[in-house]
Chains A and B, each alone.
Chain A
Amino acid sequence: MIALGYPSTITATYYLILAAILFTIGGVGLLVRRNTLVMFMCIELMLNAANLTFVSYAKALNDISGQVIVFFTLVVAAAEVAVGLAIIVAIFRRRQNIVADDADLLKG
């Protein structure tokens, strides 16, 4: 999708396209991998794609609010990783592995 040849300026669209691709890769990875930690990393990819989108719009619209939101997203991501990894550790203690498919106690 990146045009061959030398573009005159890098508009916001380029960043948005990059963020979209990154988001998709993260999403597909989340569905395909079975290792819980790797699934977590894919979630981080998606979050970063969102951050990238916010910042590029902040530049495009000349609004500082985009960067402020990224700030908050970062905080939330950090908290989420902390708690999520704690959960994974707790699950690991029970069953000695972290394959996502084994946690099916909610099966109807």
Chain B
Amino acid sequence: MEAAVFFVCAALVLTGAFGVVLSRNPVHSALFLLLTLASIAVLFLELNAGLVAAVQIVVYASAIVVLFLFVITLLGVDQHESLDEPQPFQRIAAIVFGALVLISILALAHGNRWVTGAHSTRGQLDVARTGNVQRLAESLFTNFVWAFEMTAVLLVIAVVGGVVLARRSGHRPQVPAGGEAGA
């Protein structure tokens, strides 16, 4: 059962990923991204990470993808991208180094000697008669409370930054009195 879910979702994830990279239309890329993100949410569920899966759906699969689609349609850049590559060697270098990265990560994942497998004492994932949300909340608001507050600040900064950046640049506030041409 678990295997079937895993392989189906893995296939969907990879399909979505290839779709994002290979689509010529950005709208199609966004939709493939949505597929990937949703499949990953299912995999999270499979890994006993319920809250994370839910947040993934709500934030990533909904808000961010919608944001992408919104900007695409706002800017009207849904034309097809041309296929030829102006930079020489860019594609080949990308593939070569990508392969290197893949092999390294796989080697690390499979054959590393560092992960001892000892269970941590900080916060256990599986505690009897406690749900995932409760466990997550306990850890978040005690061990990681500083980081939690910092992320709040970060979000505020992001909002402010977004507003500032998206304002029309060069737009001067109108001077109410007089007919001056401008400062």
Contact = CB atoms under 8 A, between A and B. Distances in A.
Interface of A: 2, 6-7, 9-10, 13-18, 20-29, 31-35, 37-38, 40-42, 44-45, 48, 51-52, 55-56, 58-65, 67-68, 70-72, 74-83, 85-90, 92-93, 97-98, 101
29 contacts: A10-B3, A18-B13, A20-B102, A22-B13, A25-B17, A26-B17, A27-B101, A28-B95, A31-B98, A32-B21, A32-B91, A33-B81, A38-B20, A41-B29, A45-B20, A48-B36, A51-B40, A52-B43, A55-B52, A58-B49, A64-B135, A65-B122, A77-B59, A78-B63, A79-B158, A83-B165, A86-B166, A89-B74, A92-B75
Interface in B55-94: 55-56, 59-60, 63-64, 67-68, 71-72, 74-75, 77, 81, 85-87, 90-91, 93-94
Contact of A63 (B20, B59, B63, B120): B120
Interface residues of B, number: 87
Contact of A71 (B52, B99, B125, B155): B52
Contacts, number: 245
The main secondary structure of chain A at its interface with chain B is helix
B60 A41 contact: no
A64 B136 contact: yes
A89 B75 contact: yes
